[in-house]
Amino acid sequence: PGAVIHPGVMYGRWCPEKWNGKPVDEKPLFYQGVEEFSENILLGLTGEVQAVRKKMAELIPGLDLKDAVDLKQWYLDCYSGQMTDTSSLRACMNTNPGYRGLTHPCKDADNGKFMPDLKYRYLAEDVPTGMCFNKGLGEILGIPMPTTDKVLAW
């Protein structure tokens, strides 16, 4: 899920639609800071991966992809009973106690402010080893991936 969660949350917070490019006063919460915009990015990404999964299952009878679940189901499977609100993907992320207080990777800027660390492993590793792989499968299978395209272009 890191190939979807990490780049998706980073994009949701630091993309041009949400951030003016200037240093911020404090490091934003990562998982617990997911709001509607970021959740919609994550839902788009996980939906695209699920479309790839579905197409693979159609093309290869007997291929067992039961563990390739969407993000909300992954949270439910991995953190069952720990989250206080499971009504949505955002609620699962916001109320997961294992993520309490985790912030976006940031670098110190002037005057005690912070800038995002866009070379952190969430992008430097998860994009080329996961998101690009997902995109490649989508291209091979003819699955449109507009949200993935948007994040990769960023």
Provide the annotated active-site residues: 6
**Alpha helices, DSSP H only, in 1-153?**
2-14, 36-59, 71-78, 89-94, 121-124, 126, 132-141, 146-153
Residue 14 burial (10 A CB sphere; 0-12, 13-18, 19+): buried
Write out the H or E segment, with its range, that includes residue 106.
strand 106-108
Quote the tokens at residue 93: 């992320």
d(Cα 143, Cα 37) in Å, to the nearest integer? 23
